[in-house]
A and B are shown apart, each in its own frame.
Chain A
Amino acid sequence: MKRLGRRAFLSATLAAPAAAVAQTPGHPLLATPWPDVVAAARGQTVFWNAWGGDDRTNGFIAWANDRVSERYGVRIQHVRLRDTAEAVARVVAEKSAGREQGGSVDLVWINGPNFLAMKEAGLLFGPFVHRLPNARFIDTEGKPATVTDFTVPVEGLAAPWRMAQIVFVYNSATVRDPPRSIPAMLAWARANPGRLTHPTARNFLGATFLKQALYELAPDPSVLLAPATDTAFAAATAPLWAWYDALRPHLWRSGRQFPDNGPAQRALMNDGEIDIMISFNPSEASTAIANGQLPPSVRTFVLERGTIGNASFVAIPFNAAHKEGAMVVANFLLSAEAQAHAQDPRVLGSVSVLAIHRLPPEERARFELLPRGIATLADSELGRPLPEPHPSWMTRIVAEWERRVAR
């Protein structure tokens, strides 16, 4: 049980009290006036490490590159990761090799366990978010996930750039009445064997599928907001595993194979292999219809007892070679222009992190002009998102899933 022992040790370190807020205290850049930051950034190439499995996000990053190159003379080089953990590992490796500056990661798309790991290890530059001019429009009250990531205070060490909330997409041509609760999901899978799956739990979205089920099945969901302990984990997840053991034989490929990630799952839906899929993007269905990635008959539903929501962030590693450029990119991502482009259902369809009503009228207009996709739920139907459990739950769920499934 060495592996579990190591996991337990890891969780214990994760649960340790948060480190001091400033990770790079006294860094001169944190006091540099913004125009000087912009001037210093000119000519830099920002290596933005971001999961590269989704074409639409890749396209958005390419668009951002065009804009910031034109406007600030900053180039974005998208380092396409298979998994965000690769970037964290790279920074840790550089730190252990003594590379305190000139690091190879300038900006990283991050949240959840990866963010916590970097924060705990003191690998982040900042706090820098309050130095970004566009940060004042972030909707910290209406969207608390922009300042608390998976129960972990962000403390200005990462800038939010898109909101995410779990929805389920179904094919209305084959599914008349989609299941709106976790137990109903099991009944539906029994009646429709092979028509439901989820990405492998090693993938962020796949782990979230299990967390979503845990929220509904745990005897007391409030324990999820504290770091997981052995006893709390065993008690809270027992009903989850009972449910999952019953569900798994009725999943696609009898629950022995899983798509690698969300886009792979979407391809299965597009090919008609499955009828229901989980997504982190409320306008996934509309956007995918617009891009020819899903049939026009797909629609969206959520669970009656609510779904998990979170925010995506960008963070700057402590040893990033191009911090000024990274700050300029983070600031651009918070601009009304970038946020409205991302929220366009023909582009990403991801909900903005800004408080739209606080924007100047001409900026607000960018959002008011956006079409609402045919397959997107109204805000009232979507419901207020449930907060993400503490990252330690995710880490443990993934390890336990692997233990049960990989044989």
Chain B
Amino acid sequence: MPRIRTTVTLVVAALLFLALAQEVAAPVLTVGEDPDWGQYLADSQGMSLYVYAMDEGGESACTSEKCMENWPPYTVEGDVTVAEGVNANFAGTYERPDGSIQATYNGWPLYYNERDEEQGDIRGQALGDVFHLMSPDGNAIVEMASATESPDEPEAEQEGGEQAEGDEGDAAEADGAGEQGEGEQGAGEGAGEQPAGGQQDEAQEGGAAGGQGEVPQDLMDQGQSIFSSTCAPCHGNQGQGLVGPSLAGNRFLERTDGVITTILGGRPDHGMPAFGGQLDDQQIAAVATFIRNSWGNSFGPVSPEQVAERR
């Protein structure tokens, strides 16, 4: 290829980037901070960056014209460098189908939100429960930082460097700890200490302490097993959401009816298959109980009878 042509292309591309992203040379990931959501990734101008839950396996699912208009990919040229507080090991790039290079963090492609106008704007945060700010430790920020302010959980944001799948549990744990705190004040059942950075398994006990009724352990165990094989491929091992929506901290799980009918009949319009034919009442009750009482959720158990009623 003649050299001159390459140069021209680069110039055009640079101009394009200038117009779109204001980020031509030496892209730098920085850290912004929001009183509600805590620390999040931003570009060198301080403009907030988001990740998209649909970007399974690091592939951008935001390829339609409309999506790229609403969520301009953070396209870059050259290596991505990082400011203090950002983990350089997480910074990377992804080649979009159109050949442009999009910055990634912990494997997740990064986007702007079209509606953000200046540094500190986070108008895209949690939209649709699929676009989220990215924390410097590599997690999508799905829970408000205020949920971590429980005295029981002083070090909620200390983890980092794990795979994305494993990390959403942090926020969920923090949430569980908060609820557990309430439980201790109220019911005082002493459902167990929530250690800093503890296991997500503890959350189920937090749920019981939260006053939602006893959650039978055998149901939880059975549910976890079904979840791992049947649900985790789409919803993530930690319920953090992959191609399917996040279940950790998903308030719709509070609605027993909705949970059961969704599992039974699926969401054909959103790609979730129906499991009514494949799982029996007991199995659905188990998995419903598990997702409603894990990762900080504490919405109480679901019984096989409740499932049977809705078949």
Q: Do A and B bind each other?
A: no
Interface residues in chain B, defined as those with a beta carbon under 8 Å from any beta carbon in chain A:
none
